[in-house]
Structure 1
Amino acid sequence: MGEAGAIAETHVAGRPEAVTVTCADGVKLGGHLWRGTTGSTPGRVIINPATGVAARYYHRYAQFLAARGFEVLTYDYRGIALSRPEILRGCGYRWRDWGEQDFRAALDLLLSETAAGPVLVVGHSIGGYLSGLADNARLIDRMLTVGAQYAWWRDYDRRQRLRLFLKWHVAMPALTAACGYFPGKRLGWLEDLPSGVALEWAFRGRRMEDTHPRREREDVLRRFAEFRGPILAIGVTDDALATPRAIRRTLNYYRNADHNAVLLSPADLGFERLGHFDLFHDRHAGGFWIDSLLWLRDGLNPWPDKRLQL
């Protein structure tokens, strides 16, 4: 299996197989492989989580896709949930590792463990950005992103910018420095984060490549440029993190991809609020989830009248 290895339980229809994703640097990640249950495979999907969100949050959506024939891989980034080391303090994992190492290995596993079919990515928040960091991302046929951005504070909604700045760019680095990792779970904010991830988020600048050593920046930009699969980026009007400006900034790195973006309001989907996380809740199984199949299966934008100008 090359640099991605898998250890699977006996498969039971409708239930996922537990897998271990082995990265090139030897780090092992926990995940699940959801086999399609229809006998034909319209595509193979990797779900990239948001920062500090355990992969189990996306399991209902993965099961939804598998019931419609897709082969789906969910996994936790290093330092998170099933991929958390025994001691998180001082482990040194960085945001960039999630793309360069973790996603890369997950994609290798998907290719080696599933039947032929289009290779698809569903990326939530940072998960819609970090695919371009992997040197095998050119193998992706199509990508759906939801609230994709890389957390530069000036892109936050201006009405909530101060609150979010104090939370993520003042409190988070201070607590990380004190604890050796970010104790997000104790605060009820998100999963605990490795210090490298928390500090990279806290001190992220306008240009994402500036967090990489100067000698590596050209290579980082080249990897994003090699991604040529079409992208449909979903934003929602009450998402204070992934504003239209943040979405545009992220898509600009995928400069050779055919990308489109749509901006949905809660009312478009029959709800009062959506925010940054809601679209992966199963209350959307009969609406947004069904609509997302048009893009994943057929490459068709389900919301042509909601286009966001890029």
Structure 2
Amino acid sequence: MNATPLQLTASDGYQLSAALFKASAPSKALVIIASATGVPKPYYSKYTAYLANTGLFDALTFDYRGIGESLDGKITDCKAKMSDWGALDLQAALSWGFENYEKVFVIGHSVAGQVFPLAELSHQVTAVWFIGSQCAANHLWDGVHRFLVNFFWKVSLPLTSSVLGYMPGIVVGSGPPLPKQAALEWRTWGLHPQGIWKDDKAVRERFEALTMPIHFVGVHDDHMMAPPRAVKFLQSQYSNAQTTNEQLNPSDFGLKEIGHFGFFRSRFKDKLWHLPVDFFRPYL
């Protein structure tokens, strides 16, 4: 399935690269994929095409500012913050969605669960499915993983960002670089016991305003990126939403591993890809 390229315009004028996958027949529902930190939209293309092929939805991917095809100029000149990804970029995607569809659903990966409520139109979304979304606060990790997370927040992230003017993807194992301001804001969430909320009444009110069904999915072997306590802490902040929680154990699906990024890989199509579709179907 070929995608239609789109340009989304954020409220501050920033141009965002997006791609629309259309169902074979006209659809009144759209699924927006909200990416993980630094992950460009092609990573989700096969899954987005799968969603459109169900015939139930059209599906949209987009790159946050400073990432992939939404990087305008040199990354060292990019002033994007992580909170901009929700307040401005996801907001632009939602705005486009509500202009063209009766219902909008969101599948959020990792950081998407933290920034989703920052979008002004988030309260209009019909239902949300998060995978690997977590609070970044370091106290939610245990053992060696807490040591590694603290080393990341306190040493490798600030050091590389200061020296290079951006955070290279190798710092988190792989992937594209992050704009410096996005990385440093992410660090403040990781070092504060409340994560993104940081005693910020306005942010907390954004979370409390949401009442739609939201399903949180953790992965049993995702120890480094989204341990169960971090996932459940994030879920607890959506205090007025209709939240549910599920932990995927690879062995339950005859798999050896899934990890933080595995869900969207095509080898898991038959085992896992139907899960968000099953969750959204009653709300169509």
Normalising by the residue count of structure 2, what TM-score does the alignment of the two structures yield? Answer: 0.92
- Of 244, 256, 261, which residue of structure 2 is paired with 1:277? 261
Q: CA deviation at 1:208?
A: 3.1
SS of aligned partner of 1:145: strand
Structure 1: state its 5+ residue gaps: 1-13, 301-310
SS of aligned partner of 1:298: helix
Bigger mean CA deviation after superposition, 92-101 or 221-230: 221-230
Q: How many matched pairs?
A: 280
Shift in alpha-carbon separation, 1:286–1:183, aligned structure 2, 3 A: same
Q: Deviations over 1:233-284 (max 9, x none)?
A: 1101111221111112111221110000001111012111111110110111
- Of 112, 122, 135, which residue of structure 2 is paired with 1:150? 135
1:144-293 pair list within 5 angstroms: 144-184=129-169, 189-204=174-189, 205-209=192-196, 217-240=200-223, 241-293=225-277
Whether contact under 8 Å (2:107, 2:276) holds in the other structure is no
- Between the aligned partners of 2:150 and 2:43, the Cα distance in structure 1 is 25
Q: CA deviation at 1:98?
A: 0.5
Equivalent residue, structure 2, for 1:98: 85
SS of aligned partner of 1:255: coil
2:72 maps to a residue whose letter is P
SS of aligned partner of 2:270: coil
- Between the aligned partners of 2:68 and 2:85, the Cα distance in structure 1 is 14
Shift in alpha-carbon separation, 1:187–1:134, aligned structure 2, 3 A: closer
Equivalent residue, structure 1, for 2:45: 59
- Between the aligned partners of 1:256 and 1:291, the Cα distance in structure 2 is 23
Q: CA deviation at 1:210?
A: 5.1
SS of aligned partner of 1:129: helix
Whether contact under 8 Å (1:132, 1:254) holds in the other structure is no
Whether contact under 8 Å (1:156, 1:243) holds in the other structure is yes
Whether contact under 8 Å (2:215, 2:245) holds in the other structure is yes
Whether contact under 8 Å (1:123, 1:129) holds in the other structure is no
Instruction: Check if 1:43 corresponds to 2:26.
Output: no
SS of aligned partner of 2:18: strand
Q: CA deviation at 1:155?
A: 1.9
Equivalent residue, structure 2, for 1:137: 122
Structure 2: state its 5+ residue gaps: none
- Between the aligned partners of 1:129 and 1:199, the Cα distance in structure 2 is 15
SS of aligned partner of 1:271: coil
1:1-20 pair list within 5 angstroms: 14-20=1-7
Whether contact under 8 Å (2:136, 2:195) holds in the other structure is no
Q: CA deviation at 1:150?
A: 3.5
Q: Deviations over 1:42-85 (max 9, x none)?
A: 73111001001111101110000001121111000000001012
Q: Which has the higher helix share?
A: 2
Whether contact under 8 Å (1:122, 1:128) holds in the other structure is no
Q: Deviations over 1:99-148 (max 9, x none)?
A: 111111110011223x43x3110000001221111111111010000011
Bigger mean CA deviation after superposition, 220-229 or 165-174: 165-174
Normalising by the residue count of structure 1, what TM-score does the alignment of the two structures yield? Answer: 0.85
Q: CA deviation at 1:163?
A: 2.5
Q: CA deviation at 1:292?
A: 2.6
Whether contact under 8 Å (1:42, 1:297) holds in the other structure is no
